């Protein structure tokens, strides 16, 4: 509550807000809720209050692992888990946030919208380490689903919209894009890195 009031009085910038949530490993539970949508989409994250354009919304929290560990886990995981592994480039190398573990955090449950997303994933550095955070790219109203563009990858649910032929079983067999085509491609460019 105190933080919200500080932010409202513009004493906390979206970046400072994101750093606070990264450090405290907290989500905005008073402004976001997780709801079940349908069997195809599963759960999603919804806004309980207004967000303004540029606001920090949620961190995509998970294990930060290097390229080789990501490859190892991809070989071990079922495809239902590999969809929670998001790749990004940092300091010239590929890294991955593995959010496969159900840890109650909200970021891992945000769904894809490549046509009209209301958030964008950006990388921030906190204490010299990279973190992936979603920031609003437009004003978000109470009740709106939080979404962002997962980036690359021929995601099966996108095909479903185009072709209307993909069954639920195909989605279960879906594979994430390869590391040469980072999912969070928007995070790879320097312009998306929020500097401290």
Task: Determine which residue in the list 16, 111, 188, 193 makes contact with ligand SAM, applying CB under 6 A.
Answer: 111
Task: Determine which residue in the list 43, 54, 64, 73 makes contact with ligand SAM, applying CB under 6 A.
Answer: 43
Task: By CB under 6 A, tell whether 95 contacts ligand SAM.
Answer: no
Residues 45-74 within binding reach of ligand SAM (CB under 6 A): none
Task: By CB under 6 A, tell whether 7 contacts ligand SAM.
Answer: no
CA distance 48 to 114: 23
Task: Determine which residue in the list 133, 136, 146, 171 makes contact with ligand SAM, applying CB under 6 A.
Answer: 171
Closest to ligand SAM by CB, 4 vs 113, is 113
Phi, psi (degrees; rounded to nearest 5) at 72: -60, -45
Closest to ligand SAM by CB, 44 vs 177, is 44
Nearest-approach distance from CB 91 to ligand SAM, in angstroms: 25
Q: Is 192 helix (H, G, I), strand (E, B) or coil?
A: helix
Nearest-approach distance from CB 66 to ligand SAM, in angstroms: 21
Closest to ligand SAM by CB, 129 vs 172, is 172
Residues 131-170 within binding reach of ligand SAM (CB under 6 A): 157
42 close to 22: Cβ distance less than 8 angstroms = no
58 close to 154: Cβ distance less than 8 angstroms = no
CA distance 75 to 57: 32
Q: Which residue is nearest to ligand SAM (CB)?
A: 42
Alpha carbon 11 to chain centroid, angstroms: 26
* DSSP E strands, 75-185: 85-90, 93-98, 111-112, 119-126, 129-136, 147-148
CA–CA–CA angle 154, 155, 157 (5° rounding): 135
Task: By CB under 6 A, tell whether 84 contacts ligand SAM.
Answer: yes
Q: Which residues bind ligand SAM (CB under 6 A)?
A: 40-44, 83-84, 108-109, 111-113, 157, 171
């Amino acid at each position: 509550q105190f933080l919200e009031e500080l932010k409202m009085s513009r004493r906390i910038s979206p970046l400072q807000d994101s750093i606070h949530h990264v450090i405290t490993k907290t989500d905005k539970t008073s402004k976001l809720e997780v709801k079940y949508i349908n069997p195809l989409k599963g759960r999603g994250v919804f806004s309980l209050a207004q967000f303004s354009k540029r606001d920090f919304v949620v961190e995509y929290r998970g294990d930060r692992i290097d390229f080789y560990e990501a490859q190892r886990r991809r070989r071990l995981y079922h495809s239902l888990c590999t969809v929670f592994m998001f790749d990004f480039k940092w300091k010239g190398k590929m890294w991955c946030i593995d959010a496969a573990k159900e840890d109650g955090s909200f970021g891992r449950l945000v769904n894809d919208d490549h046509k009209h997303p209301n958030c964008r994933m950006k990388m921030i550095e906190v204490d010299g380490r990279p973190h992936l955070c979603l920031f609003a790219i437009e004003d978000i109203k109470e009740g709106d689903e939080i979404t962002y563009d997962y980036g690359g990858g021929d995601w099966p649910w996108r095909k479903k919209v185009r072709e209307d032929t993909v069954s639920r079983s195909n989605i279960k067999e879906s594979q994430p894009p390869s590391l040469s085509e980072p999912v969070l491609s928007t995070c790879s460019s320097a312009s998306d890195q929020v500097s401290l």
